[in-house]
Amino acid sequence: KQEVTQIPAALSVPEGENLVLNCSFTDSAIYNLQWFRQDPGKGLTSLLLIQSSQREQTSGRLNASLDKSSGRSTLYIAASQPGDSATYLCAVSKLDSNYQLIWGAGTKLIIKP
């Protein structure tokens, strides 16, 4: 059974720092991995999607990497800003489960001005 873990559960850093959020999964037979952002009281916004054949994806100040063999993904945020404060969730999908997403519990990120 696929399990997704995100550590730490919460993180608080000063503005301007570069930071890394971690996601680990137990079954390497994934189809893709997505990183989402969730603001309080709002839905989920997809940030980056990495196909199983890819190693990384970049969007602006965000870079996500994928290492299937070790069951890990990282989300790198460069030059953090207070507006980056949110909960970040990762989710993996599998071929043999109708591509359904298996979710981590998220990392709550606070960027202090």
For another protein, the binding residues (CB under 8 A) are 4, 31-32, 34, 36, 41-46, 49, 51, 89, 91, 93, 98-101, 103-106
Q: Are 75 and 62 in contact (CB under 8 A)?
A: yes
Of 70 and 100, the one with the shorter C-beta distance to another protein is 100
Cα 89–chain centre separation: 5
Closest distance of CB 72 from another protein, Å: 17
How do beta strands 32-38 and 10-14 pair? unpaired
CB 28 to another protein: min, Å: 18
- Closest to another protein by CB, 18 vs 59, is 59
Q: Which is nearer to another protein, 12 or 46 (CB)?
A: 46
The residue among 73, 48, 51, 72 whose CA lies nearest residue 62 is 48
Q: How many CB atoms lie under 10 A from the CB of residue 101?
A: 17
Q: Which is nearer to another protein, 18 or 45 (CB)?
A: 45
Which residues make Cβ contacts (< 8 Å) with residue 11, sequence separation at least 6?
Answer: 19, 21, 107, 108, 109, 110
CB of 15 to another protein, least distance (A): 25
Least distance to another protein from the beta carbon of 108, Å?
9
